[in-house]
Amino acid sequence: MSNSLRKLGFNDHFAEHAARYGIGQPYRVTEDFGLRFVVSGDAGGQLRPFNLTFARKSERAPIIGDWILGTPTETGEVEFIDILERSSCFQRSTGEDRVQLLAANVDKLFIVTSCTDEFNLSRLERYLLLARANHISPVLVLNKADLATDPNTYLEQIAELGPEIPVCVLSTFSEPGVTQLKLMIAEDETCVFVGSSGVGKSSIVNALTESQRQLTLGVSAKGARGSHTTTSRSLFMLPESGVIIDTPGIRSVGVSASADSLSDAFEDIAHLMSQCAFRNCGHNGEAGCAVTQAVDEGRLTLRRLNSYKKLQREAEFFEDKQAAMRRQRDEARQRAARRGSRQRFERDPK
């Protein structure tokens, strides 16, 4: 395993799966433009970018962060062979019974919000749920702290989400905050930055990579919202260590998680539920409900409980839809198998 590939995030997991093929070389998808891809791989001990030759109609498409196997061509491109097994995948529901894959092989999710009107605890809870459901470690980044009269008011609200969640407070142009952020990224980690448009994700990526590869446009008169041109997904290597992925702003955070994942994202509520007098408690004011009692006593906010219940309904709906789609696929395969058997019998009734 070359040192250059290791810096790009290649590890024993991917090396083991690549060895099973016996052909091709490993490359990582570093640019995803939707219709075309750029991959990076080892060339004489140095990382080099290549355009990826990919027949989208006939093959499973890679996404940003994927490790693929490919072979270099005489034209200087890479011909696609297969996608190596992913260690994780950050995804969301599109609300159309489908799942959108946003980034592959992610270790840490940096959820960027800001000290502006954009700040929304319920949206942060959605991101945290998706991180937990996909076995990705979350970090909250509270940006644009210089715009707030008192950033502590935002931190007090964030504390409602749980004491175990790391939080980094920064202004993009504050060197101490950026330094703290760098220390949160280990050498072998792939990190994704997500958040709404205008929270400063790309400016943070610029500060981390010490570049201006992500062009940032002007900021509004109030200084609250920036506008950037990020429409593709890009992977960057940090000067010191680690890999980060910048994504376009996400307008809606659809739940693509199981109902069981809620217990990880809402540990406080899960703990209270275990203390209810009855196992079938609906947590709507029933006698002996520890959850309702916690709300009445101010130990749990009604907002957080309502957020939990809403996400629970969405997660159950998502699970039901996914189960229905699996049944449809199974039935289609069974019908195809029966047709094949019938056709073979008609050709050779003996």
| Residue predicted with more confidence, 99 or 286 | 286
Q: Which domain holds residue 74?
A: 3-83
User: Which has the closest alpha carbon to 28: 80, 83, 68?
Assistant: 68
Would you say residue 188 has pLDDT above 70? Answer: yes
Domain end, chosen from 83, 115, 143, is at 83
As a whole number of angstroms, the distance between CA 41 and CA 169 comes to 35
Domain end, chosen from 203, 219, 246, is at 246
As a whole number of angstroms, the distance between CA 70 and CA 32 comes to 16
Beta bridge partners of 37: 32
pLDDT for 6-57, tens place per residue?
889 999 999 999 999 989 999 999 998 877 899 999 887 888 989 987 665 5
**Residue ranges for the binding site for GTP?**
143-146, 195-203
Across the range 55-72, mean pLDDT stands at: 81
Q: In the structure encoding, which two tokens stand for residue 172, read together?
A: 């993009």
Are residues 93 and 236 located together in one domain of the fold?
Answer: yes
As a whole number of angstroms, the distance between CA 214 and CA 35 comes to 20
Alpha helices in 145-286 (DSSP H): 152-158, 175-183, 201-209, 262-265, 267-273
As a whole number of angstroms, the distance between CA 79 and CA 100 comes to 25
Are residues 161 and 103 located together in one domain of the fold?
Answer: yes
- Please give the backbone phi and psi of residue 137, each rounded to the nearest 5 degrees, phi first: -75, 125
Are residues 100 and 68 located together in one domain of the fold?
Answer: no
Would you say residue 62 has pLDDT above 50? Answer: yes
Q: What is the reported pLDDT for 229?
A: 41
Q: Say how many domains are in the chain.
A: 3
Residue 250 C-alpha from the chain's centroid: 11
User: Which has the closest alpha carbon to 178: 230, 249, 239, 222?
Assistant: 239
**Counting every residue, how long is the chain?**
350
How far, in Å, are 54, 82, 230, 255 from residue 62 at the CA level?
Answer: 9, 9, 19, 22
Q: What is the reported pLDDT for 230?
A: 47
Q: What is the reported pLDDT for 248?
A: 72
Q: What is the reported pLDDT for 225?
A: 38
Cα of first residue to Cα of last residue in the chain, in angstroms, is: 57
Sign of the CA dihedral with 198 first, then 202, 205, and 207 last: negative
Are residues 207 and 271 located together in one domain of the fold?
Answer: no
**Confidence at 277, pLDDT banded by 50, 70, 90:** very high
Q: What is the reported pLDDT for 185?
A: 92
Q: What is the reported pLDDT for 95?
A: 65
Sole residue written with tokens 């920036």: 226
**Confidence at 139, pLDDT banded by 50, 70, 90:** very high
Indicate which CATH number applies to the domain containing 317.
1.10.40.50
Sign of the CA dihedral with 82 first, then 75, 44, and 31 last: negative
Q: What is the reported pLDDT for 121?
A: 94
**Confidence at 217, pLDDT banded by 50, 70, 90:** very low
Are residues 31 and 141 located together in one domain of the fold?
Answer: no
**Residue ranges for the binding site?**
143-146, 195-203, 276, 281, 283, 289
As a whole number of angstroms, the distance between CA 283 and CA 293 comes to 10
Mean pLDDT of the residues in the chain:
82
Q: In the structure encoding, which two tokens stand for residue 194, read together?
A: 């997500």
pLDDT for 71-112, tens place per residue?
988 888 999 999 999 999 998 877 666 778 889 999 999 999
**Confidence at 155, pLDDT banded by 50, 70, 90:** very high
Indicate which CATH number applies to the domain containing 192.
3.40.50.300
Are residues 234 and 118 located together in one domain of the fold?
Answer: yes
* Rg (alpha carbons) of the chain, rounded to whole number: 23
Dmax (CA) for the chain in angstroms is: 86
Q: In the structure encoding, which two tokens stand for residue 324, read together?
A: 């229905």
**Residue ranges for the binding site for Zn(2+)?**
276, 281, 283, 289
pLDDT for 2-19, tens place per residue?
888 988 999 999 999 999
Would you say residue 202 has pLDDT above 90? Answer: no
Percent of the chain scoring above 90 in pLDDT = 39
Residue pair 92/102 in contact (Cβ under 8 Å)? The answer is yes
Domain end, chosen from 48, 83, 118, is at 83
As a whole number of angstroms, the distance between CA 9 and CA 130 comes to 22
**Confidence at 209, pLDDT banded by 50, 70, 90:** confident
